[in-house]
Every structure is written in structure tokens, then in C-alpha cells.
Amino acid sequence: MSEGSQVDERLKMPECMRLLTPEVMAVMKRLEWLARRRMQGTLSGRHTSPDKGVSVEFAEHREYTPGDDTKNLDWRVMAKSDRNVVKQFIQETNLRATIVLDVSGSMSFKGEHSDKSKFEYGSELAAALAYLFVKQGDAAGLVTFDHEIRHLMRAESRPSQVRRICEILYQSEPGEETGVGEVLHEVAERIPTRGLVILISDLFDEPQKIVESLHHFNFRQHDLVVFHLLAEEELSFPFQKFQRFKDLEGVEKMLRIDPQAVRAAYLDKLREFIASIEAVCGNIRADYVPVTTEIALPETLTRYLGSRKP
């Protein structure tokens, strides 16, 4: 297909599908995601399930009961122990991924050296991951939230699911104040079966609340990945002159601050905050993925998915 025809085809796309840029699509077509924990799903696939069935991976023995397939009798064990036992195996299944995107007011921040706000970047990341899961036969769902859940779409694997997710992302706007910690407890409870949860957020909330909510996902036996999305200015605080800062979530609309007076304290608090999130992710075997909006999304995806091992 010529470059001109590719442009024509893209113009015919629904607006929402333009969240999937040609550069991102090219990367996603050669990458895959393998689950690290045992997943529960409805289809035979590439991921290990906690449910017993017939597959290639032996799980355990159990006593024979009338009606069991005699092909699964373990004759060696029976000969040694005089017990009638059958072999059980681990089934392979499809992965059920729920992508959880923060759409609170702070996500609207756009750095001077980035062409996307955190919300725009996060939306494109969510769309790309949804495409990846459905492409490889897995199920993808979506949750958007600020101080409450705004949308909750159950994970499905049909091809139209990508468009449905993109439509919600395209129609969403960052607005209300955040409530990351409290809302994530509700999200953890409303995901019906063990699966993969991908959180995309700047995590602007009280650290202890976030730590507790991440533990909740671990308690529910989900495989958790945290994309901690920040603008470069939020990491380095390069501001020099006395200026106004917009409060994107609080009561005060504009705050007049001397950056040099607060820089050291701000950076200390930020480093402490990031360290606490990294620590809890390490404790619960979750992936902590720092992301800045200055790094092109294809590069972010390639770095993480290229280094992720099942």
C-alpha cells in the first residue's frame, strides 16, 4: 500500500481510532504480552490457568471417581501404592486485562517540551494495550476514574472491543479532583475474576492510601502493572522565576509561589513518594513502570514489553 493510500485509509477511520497512531501500530504488531501469574479465562490460549483440565503441564494427583476418563489413570502410582488415582493438568487460558486510566484534573497537565498532556499520553497508551491484548486473542476491559469510577467496561476479546474502548477514551475528558486510593479499592472488588490490572496514573494522592489500594489488588490475586505517568517538569521542577501555578484539583485556582523557595522540599517529597510506590510494587511483585510524556509512546512500549519476561 502506498503512503498516499495509507493516509486516505486513516482519514476514513472513526476519530476515536486515531488514538492508535501508525507508529504505535507498527510496534504493537511485533510485540506480545505473556502473563506471569496464573490467569482465569474462557478460551484456550498462551497463559497458565489455575483451573485443572487437560493440557501439557502436570498439576497433581487425585483419587479416581466413577465417570473419570480412564486415560488419565496413573498406572505407575497405582502399581506402587495400590491406589486408584488420576492425573490432573493445568489448563492454558486467555488473559483478562483491565486497563485502569486516571482521568482526574491533574492528568491534564502538559509540559513545555511535550506535545501531549498526561491524559492524552495515557489514553494512547491504554488504546495501544487494548489493541495488543485483543490482537493476541486475549480480553481487554477499561476503567476510567477521578474521585469515582466514570466508566467500567468488562473485559472482552471480540475485535470490536478495541473500537469500543477507543470511543470511551476519545469521549473522556480530565476534570474532577482525584481519589486514586479510595477508587482503586472499588475497582479491585469489581473485577470479577483474577486477571491482569494495568494502572495508568500520576498517582497524585496520599501515599498511604495508594499503598493500601495496591495491596488490595494483590489480595485479589491480580497481576498488577503500574505505569506511573508524569511530565518531565514534575520530576525536575525547573521553574526559576516567581510565578503562578494552577491548582488542577483543589479549591484554589491559582497559587503564587516562588519556585526556588520550594524546589528542594518538593524534590525530596517526590523522591520519597516514588520510592514508596516502587517499594510496595516490589513487595507485591507488581511491575512499576516510570513513564514521562517526553518519551515517545512507541519507545515506552518497546522498552517495557521488550524487557518483560513471563
pTM: 0.76
> Average pLDDT for residues 57-77, to the nearest whole number?
61
Task: Concatenate the DSSP letters of all residues of 65-113 into one string.
Answer: -TTS-GGGB-HHHHHHH---EEEEEEEEE--EEEEEEE-SGGGG---TT
Three-state SS at 173: coil
Q: pLDDT tens digits for 110-158? A: 888 889 999 999 999 999 999 999 999 999 999 999 999 999 999 999 8
**pLDDT for residue 169 is more than 50:** yes
- Mean pLDDT comparison of 2-6, 12-16, 106-110, highest-scoring range: 106-110
Domains of the chain and any CATH numbers: 22-38+95-307 (3.40.50.410), 47-93 (no CATH)
User: 194: closest CA among 307, 47, 54?
Assistant: 47
> Average pLDDT for residues 195-221, to the nearest whole number?
94
Percent of the chain whose predicted confidence (pLDDT) is above 90 = 50
